[in-house]
A = this chain, B = another copy of it.
Amino acid sequence: MAVFEEISPADFFYRNRDIAGFSSPSRAIYSTLRELIENSLDACEAVRVLPEVRITLRELRPSPTGAFFYSVRVVDNGSGVPGDKIPQAFGQVLFGSKFRLKQTRGTFGLGGTMAILYGQITTEMPAHIVSSTGDRYIHDYELMIDIQKNKPNVLRYKVHTNRDGWHGTLVEFTMEGDYTRAMPKVLDYLKQTAIVNPYADITFVDPKGRLYVFERTIRKLPSPPKETLPHPYGVDAETLYRLIAMTNTKSLSAFLMEHFHRVGKSLAGKVLERANLDPNRSPKTLTPSEVSDLANVMRSFEDFLPPDASCLSPLGEEILEAGIRKELNPEFVFVTKRKPSAYSGYPFIVEVGIAYGGGIPRTGDIVLYRFANRIPLLYDETSDVSWKVIHNLMDWRYYKVNPAEDPLAIIIHLCSTKIPYKTVGKEFLSDRPEIEREILNGVRLAARNLMLYLMRKRRFEIGKKR
């Protein structure tokens, strides 16, 4: 007889922790550090503060499985978390502040909690969280996660007076891991994070006591992404339903103008005409099939205005080129920032850089660097949409480029209010057609510029010979 049960989302990720990126002791170290660092960078940018992130990883003792127990500690000077929200922010899965339509590194509401959960199941020790938003109090928690209920369990809570007006967050817990195996990827992650976040000061003390310092190279934060309305292109019926349920607008025309990005009276009129709906009707009177028709029209309507980029925070060509030159020391660099586009209602911008020669090694293939919302992606590159573009969709011979012989690197940064990660561990991007097209066009433009450079170079060298 079948036994039916329901499980909490924390229990789901406990049972399937491979899915969240915690598949082995070395991968757990990488995933833990990246989740905490990304939380810290988000928190600093949220309050327009130049980030200072201090990471310490201390080896405690060997673990029974041939790995080690570590103490992880990450401190930042960011927004902090309100005292009453700390238990859920860190002790409940699918709880967070980043479900809004704004570009942030975090998006699922589970990364930080997952790291703490993994630490808990491998060491049975509580997590220590200290945080203040800069007001009069510093909140000091010791907590564990009730995995079956997906609820925090506060073991101890102290409040300190905040004499210096400190703001920020300290997260500290023990976990089993394998830093020796994880080290190359961890250092790679820190290095590439520094490239695309040049305004951040990051320090890392590793288990051997070695200190790594990534000093900021610019003192200016990028312009902050603003929260935005959903873009009408690609909206589905569920989104429409939710907006209709909570709207105060009294007419369909006002409904479209109020709740969608860059929809004015005349555009709203055209959309409603095509959907055969009276612009003056109250949105709450629509039947399910009328909602479905409206969604279908909006998904095929070609004349919406492209999103403006105010909800996005691209690197910009200057920062991207400077980072490429500093790290790769190439002979030739070309960078391009594509115009804003949208998929399924989410605005996005693709930035592409191409680098040739100089310090770039000949590896027999193009070296691919991938970034999403300023996060370096270091795993599963062959499953990523960028890989597909470069290896399956680009015709390099047309550009007189031979990927097997030329020393070539391609850098791709995607920023969006929702990055279409294929995995919970944020390892690679799914091949959404609109995004694939933008990456392809960006790489083609970059390839064309490389081709012109190489032609001039070869002509020059031929000229020299004569």
Contact = CB atoms under 8 A, between A and B. Distances in A.
Contacts of A383: 380, 382-383
Q: Which of A289, A296, A299, A300 gathers the greatest number of chain B CB atoms within 10 Å?
A: A296
Given A296-B63, A382-B383, A85 B4 contact: yes
Contacts of A292: 123-125
B238 A46 contact: no
A217 interface: no
Interface of A: 2-9, 12, 14-16, 18-19, 23-24, 46, 63-65, 79, 81-82, 85, 88-89, 92, 94-97, 99-100, 107-109, 120-125, 147-148, 236-238, 242, 288-289, 291-292, 295-297, 299-300, 380, 382-383, 418, 420-424, 430-433
Nearest to A99: B5
Contact of A108 (B16, B121, B124): B16
A6 B92 CA distance: 9
Nearest to A292: B124
Contacts of A421: 16, 18-19
Contacts of A99: 5, 7, 15
B12 A432 contact: no
A382 B2 CA distance: 36
Given A94-B7, A383-B383, A64 B300 contact: yes
Given A4-B95, A7-B94, A64-B299, 16 more contacts: A2-B79, A5-B96, A12-B94, A16-B107, A16-B424, A18-B422, A23-B430, A23-B431, A120-B238, A121-B238, A122-B236, A122-B237, A124-B289, A382-B382, A422-B423, A423-B423
A12 B236 contact: no
Total identical chains: 2
Nearest to A227: B3
Contacts of A296: 63-64
A9 B424 CA distance: 13
A299 B176 CA distance: 12
A364 to B, nearest CB: 15
Contacts of A95: 4-6
Nearest to A291: B124
Nearest to A110: B12
Contacts of A3: 97, 100
B109 A7 contact: yes
Nearest to A294: B124
A424 B19 contact: yes
A293 B433 CA distance: 51
A350 B418 CA distance: 39
A230 to B, nearest CB: 12
A418 B15 CA distance: 9
A237 B108 CA distance: 26
B422 A97 contact: no
Q: Which of A9, A97, A418 gathers the greatest number of chain B CB atoms within 10 Å?
A: A9
A300 B24 contact: no
A63 to B, nearest CB: 7
A157 to B, nearest CB: 18
A123 B236 CA distance: 9
Nearest to A2: B97
Contacts of A16: 107-108, 421, 424
Nearest to A300: B64
Contacts of A121: 236-238
Nearest to A293: B124
Nearest to A385: B23
Given A238-B14, A238-B121, A299-B65, A23 B432 contact: yes
Contacts of A122: 236-237
9 contacts: A5-B95, A7-B94, A7-B109, A14-B238, A16-B108, A19-B422, A63-B296, A65-B299, A148-B242
